[in-house]
Amino acid sequence: AQSVTQLGSHVSVSEGALVLLRCNYSSSVPPYLFWYVQYPNQGLQLLLKYTTGATLVKGINGFEAEFKKSETSFHLTKPSAHMSDAAEYFCAVSDSGTYKYIFGTGTRLKVLA
Amino acid sequence: DSGVTQTPKHLITATGQRVTLRCSPRSGDLSVYWYQQSLDQGLQFLIQYYNGEERAKGNILERFSAQQFPDLHSELNLSSLELGDSALYFCASSASGRVDEQFFGPGTRLTVL
């Protein structure tokens, strides 16, 4: 069965600092991996996705993630945090054989002025 | 704006009652997914429909049912409501039945008193 683990339910960074949100997955078949962001009182918005090909994936708002098969990881990074990045971030895994996402428990990012 | 609409935005009801949540997918999308987001369970996949037919089932209770109509809108019916059913219910849509980017609606917040 597939699963996703997001380390750290809450992460705080200073404005301008590096953002690193961790995601590890478990999958017996090649995974499809996604990062979604949820702003307060809103639905989820796709930040980026990995299906096949290049392992470094660039997304919206300056975020990127690297698929590392050997480490079963798909960590989300952004070089310089902005106040507007404060939100909850969800990692999700799926694969070509199923039609559903398995979401992690989410990481709430706080950006300090 | 993802293009996915959900009504109502908020719903307050009593235990034992039945409610219907409605979702209209993005224009042209054939797949609709339902998710439940609660504090204790996180974001859980409930069910998927593709072009009117049930495609995948997740952690959906027997008290819950869904359907997708010929015009592709979907309804999630929740009956014999319990306090623990209080949650945010999200609908998402995607273009096809394969694993693909899902576009999320703003959600319906259900409160069971």
Q: pLDDT tens, B45-91? A: 999 999 999 988 888 999 999 999 999 999 999 999 999 999 999 99
Whether residue B42 lies within 8 A of chain A, CB to CB, comes out as: yes
From B109's Cα to the closest Cα of chain A, the distance in A is 10
Residues of B in contact with A42 (CB under 8 A): 106-107
Separation in Å, CA of B110 to nearest CA in chain A: 13
Mean pLDDT of B25-38: 94
**Does the pLDDT value for residue A98 go beyond 70?**
no
* DSSP of chain A: --EEEEE-SEEEEETTSPEEEEEEEE-SS-EEEEEEEE-TTS-EEEEEEE-SS-SEEE-GGG-EEEEETTTTEEEEEESS--GGG-EEEEEEEEETT-S--EE---EEEEEE-
Mutate: best of B45, B49, B59, B100, partner A, most A CBs <10 A: B45
Q: Taken in order B96, B9, A48, B46, is the CA torsion positive or negative?
A: negative
User: Which DSSP letter does residue A88 get?
Assistant: E
Nearest to A9 by CA among A19, A21, A24: A21
Q: What is the pLDDT averaged over residues B5-20? A: 97
* pLDDT given for residue B99 in this prediction: 65
% of chain B exceeding 90 in pLDDT:
80
B33–A42 CB contact, under 8 Å: no
pLDDT classification of A31: cutoffs 50, 70, 90: confident
Which residue of chain B has the CA closest to A106? B42
Tell me the average pLDDT of chain B: 93
**Pick from B42, B43, B48: which is nearest to A99 by CB?**
B48
**How sure is the predictor about B40, in pLDDT bands with cuts at 50, 70 and 90?**
confident
